[in-house]
Structure 1
């Protein structure tokens, strides 16, 4: 079987504060985009770290892409349109392209989160496991365990 995957190593979340992304005249942000590193073809994924006391300096929208925010650590607030919602570890938000959004860290520790963006309406509609297929060959660790 040919190699049909790519791999990147972002290191532990404690190091995500060292990522840097510059947007316009704004200060560099702790953000790392993975599209280029992984050769993604249907989405963009970014790894993010919002320092203590920091927040997005502006609301933003997108032209075509919806976004999903998956907050892993930290506490804060997420503005979705006119709503301000709490962020705690495990909080997940989906924003349509036209919805203004921003977030801030109000907690005592850095806030690490993942953002996934893809073109709205581009998903085929086969949700959950409907698109998956079982392969006849067992995983490598099962084969190794069966070998005496």
Structure 2
């Protein structure tokens, strides 16, 4: 599925498990954040440790379990866990040997958020058919 209008774009990400990683930057013409949907098969690790110059990352584990390496520490992560890593944090992830891990990663420039849902949202009088 793909659909777009003046103020939106909708795509199908396909089968993330077979793709391993879906980067949404270009596909959705993102301008304020980088978003990816990722799946590491059981026992597989991201093949490098990395940090960022400007972007913090937020991860949400959608399914499975694995391990997070952050600034020299290692600990278990699992479905339902969410975590933020500062740009300078050195990080790497690995799926558990018995379980693939699927997660969303959102990158945005650290300290750039000027508002969020409660302070940035504007109610509209327009309603969908179900309201």
Q: In structure 2, what is the equivalent of residue 9 of structure 1?
A: 12
Larger gyration radius, structure 1 or structure 2: 1
Question: 2:68, 2:93 within 8 Å by CA — same for their partners in 1?
Answer: yes
Segments ≥4 residues shifted beyond 4 Å: none
Q: In structure 1, what is the equivalent of residue 26 of structure 2?
A: 36
What's the TM-score, normalizing by structure 1?
Answer: 0.79
Distance in 2 between the 1:140 and 1:5 partners?
A: 19
What is the deviation of 1:121?
Answer: 1.4
What is the deviation of 1:84?
Answer: 1.5
Q: RMSD value over aligned CA atoms?
A: 1.5
Q: In structure 2, what is the equivalent of residue 91 of structure 1?
A: 81
Which of the numbers 117, 125, 131 marks the counterpart of 1:136?
125
Distance in 1 between the 2:7 and 2:51 partners?
A: 33
Aligned length: 127
Matches of residues 1-148 of structure 1 in structure 2 within 5 Å? Answer: 3-11=6-14, 15-19=15-19, 30-124=20-114, 126-142=115-131
Stretches of structure 1 lacking an aligned partner (at least 5 in a row): 20-29, 143-148
Structure number with higher relative contact order (C-alpha < 8 Å, ≥ 6 residues apart): 2
Stretches of structure 2 lacking an aligned partner (at least 5 in a row): none
What is the deviation of 1:100?
Answer: 0.2
Question: 2:66, 2:99 within 8 Å by CA — same for their partners in 1?
Answer: no
What is the deviation of 1:111?
Answer: 0.9
What is the deviation of 1:128?
Answer: 3.8
Distance in 1 between the 2:18 and 2:83 partners?
A: 25
